[in-house]
């Protein structure tokens, strides 16, 4: 096997992968097969050395660090993208992730074609997608079971396609249970530290001054967890402290990481935005890029709305922890309207759920800025 480029990462454990970090195993008996000078010189795969199993070529590639089975085309990827979705329990993370992936997969004429990379991602996505779009029920709260399993997707980029090849990226998305943000353990810390973009989801109904303005039924049908009044602010501060501690950054230093601050459940607070830009349909996908003027308007509207609602402590937590130019505010609704009183969803028409992802991809130069 050739020496792997040093920018290749295992999408499961996020450790760098060099040729000595991967092992080739037999598909039948799963034993590692070591190559020799001939296999090295001829770039061929070794055969299984176990008696009675010798005819099998050791074609299964595994990470030596975590044992995960790696896709056969792992070497062909151009970029290894890693995003973490963070937020207190009930913020709307899993429903958002599911509708976001659905919208990207189903968008007709999308230049970015995504497919699950492993069977766990396929079955998780199918199960959640079926709940929201067929059974019309919200996805239930995520178990805080260990280890947390990130979703692994592959993106093929039609914009970067020649007659013989197409650019492919791996996309690792970590969506843990809300409790994971409060008690960050070593596995979760690897994902947070390894994430190029943090997507922090905030439930506007968790902000006390906003919740007061919303119909009590809508609040109750859109809420699965009760929090103290400063839960979202505390979460941002804790997350920032944690990132600083793990990167040995002085506490006075602002964190230089892309952060999408995404307000979920926009349907529940639609009245307070009237006909603002954030309530209009998103222009990015039809422009096949990230439309900066639209995103700038949305960012300013959400900041103004938070200030107007008297939620300055939340804004302070963002402003005093993260570098200014690196933070963008977004507003989304995964369902397009609140769940109904019987726990069911009406017609599911997600609103602006792709905006944060397209921004994150534009920061990686995958999606062009328009
Ligand atoms: N009105 C409204 N409610 C939503 C929306 N998305 C989610 N919800 C409500 O929020 C609840 C929690 O959503 P989840 O996606 O499970 O939240 P989570 O952040 O993944 O929570 P944990 O897995 O417990 O960390 C859902 O059961 C819905 O009742 C939305 O777009 N609009
Ligand atoms: Mg969840
Ligand atoms: Zn690994
Ligand atoms: Zn074998």
Q: Is 111 in the pocket of ligand 1 (CB under 6 A)?
A: no
pTM of the model: 0.92
Strands (E), 206-285: 258-263
Q: Which residues contact 181 (CB under 8 A, 6 or more apart)?
A: 86, 87, 88, 235, 238, 239
CA distance 10 to 15: 6
Are the C-beta atoms of 299 and 329 separated by less than 8 Å? Answer: yes
Confidence of residue 182 (pLDDT cuts 50, 70, 90): low
The answer on pLDDT for 306 being more than 90 is yes
d(CA 359, CA 367): 8
* Residues whose CB is less than 8 angstroms from the CB of residue 331 and which lie 6 or more positions away in sequence, other chains included: 262, 263, 266, 273, 278, 298, 301, 302, 352
Give the per-residue pLDDT at 204: 94
Which residue has the least CA distance to atom 15 on ligand 1? 92
pLDDT in tens, 196-252: 899 999 999 988 889 999 999 999 999 988 878 788 888 899 888 888 877 778 888
Determine whether the shortest distance from the Cβ of 206 to ligand 1 is under 6 A. Answer: no
* Ligand 1 binding pocket mutation candidate from 84, 131, 136, 138 (most atoms within 8 A of CB): 138
Q: Is 267 in the pocket of ligand 1 (CB under 6 A)?
A: yes
Measured from the CB, is residue 356 less than 6 Å from ligand 1?
no
Q: What is the pLDDT of residues 31-61, one digit of tens each?
A: 999 888 887 788 788 899 998 887 789 989 9
pLDDT score of 2 more than 60: no
CA of 158 to the centre of ligand 2 (A): 31
Closest CA to 199 of 91, 342, 282: 91
Ordered domains of the chain (ranges, CATH): 1-75 (no CATH), 77-363 (3.40.50.300)
**Cα-Cα-Cα-Cα dihedral sign, residues 211, 213, 217, 222:** negative
User: What does the alpha-carbon distance between residue 50 and residue 39 come to, in Å, rounded to a whole number?
Assistant: 17
Residue 101 CB-half CA count within 13 A: 28
Q: Please state the separation of Cα 102 from the chain's center in Å.
A: 13
SS3 268: helix
Cross-strand pairs, 169: 79, 155
Q: Answer yes or no: is pLDDT of 4 > 50.
A: no
Q: Is 334 in the pocket of ligand 1 (CB under 6 A)?
A: yes
Query: Percent of the chain having pLDDT more than 70?
Result: 96
Distance, in Å, from the CA atom of 178 to the CA atom of 260, rounded to the nearest integer, reads 17
Return the closest-CA partner of residue 196 out of 314, 363, 327, 368: 363
Give the residue whose CA is nearest to atom 14 of ligand 1. 92
- The residue whose CA is least distant from atom 28 of ligand 1 is 222
Whether 333 is in the pocket of ligand 1, judged by its Cβ within 6 Å, is: yes
């Amino acid at each position: 096997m050739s020496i792997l480029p040093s920018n290749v990462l295992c999408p499961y454990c996020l450790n760098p992968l060099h040729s000595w970090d991967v092992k080739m195993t037999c598909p039948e008996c799963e034993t590692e097969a070591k190559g020799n000078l001939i296999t090295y010189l001829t770039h061929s795969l070794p055969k299984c050395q176990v008696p009675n199993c010798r005819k099998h070529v050791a074609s299964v590639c595994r990470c030596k660090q975590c044992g995960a089975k790696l896709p056969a085309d792992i070497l062909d990827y151009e970029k290894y993208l890693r995003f973490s979705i963070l937020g207190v329990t009930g913020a709307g993370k899993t429903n958002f992730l599911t509708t976001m992936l659905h919208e990207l997969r189903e968008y007709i004429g999308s230049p970015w074609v995504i497919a699950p990379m492993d069977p766990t991602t396929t079955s998780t996505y199918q199960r959640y997608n079926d709940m929201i779009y067929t059974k019309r029920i919200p996805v239930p709260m995520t178990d805080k079971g260990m280890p947390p399993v990130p979703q692994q997707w592959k993106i093929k980029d039609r914009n970067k396609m020649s007659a013989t090849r197409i650019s492919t990226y791996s996309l690792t998305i970590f969506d843990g249970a809300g409790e994971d943000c409060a008690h960050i353990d070593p596995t979760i810390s690897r994902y947070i530290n390894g994430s190029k973009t943090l997507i922090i989801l905030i439930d506007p109904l968790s902000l006390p001054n906003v919740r007061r303005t919303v119909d009590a039924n809508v609040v109750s049908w859109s809420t699965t967890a009760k929090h103290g009044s400063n839960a979202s602010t505390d979460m941002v501060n804790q997350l920032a402290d944690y990132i600083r501690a793990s990167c040995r950054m002085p506490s006075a230093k602002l964190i230089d990481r892309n952060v999408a601050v995404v307000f979920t459940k926009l349907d529940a607070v639609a009245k307070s935005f009237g006909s603002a830009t954030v309530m209009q349909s998103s222009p990015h996908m039809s422009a096949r890029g990230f439309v900066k003027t639209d995103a700038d308007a949305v960012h300013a509207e959400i900041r103004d709305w938070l200030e107007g609602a008297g939620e300055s402590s939340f804004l302070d937590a963002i402003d005093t922890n993260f570098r200014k130019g690196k933070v963008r505010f977004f507003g989304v609704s995964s369902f397009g309207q609140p769940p109904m009183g019987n726990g069911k969803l009406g017609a599911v028409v997600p609103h602006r759920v792709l905006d944060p992802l397209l921004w994150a991809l534009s920061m990686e130069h995958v999606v062009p800025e328009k």
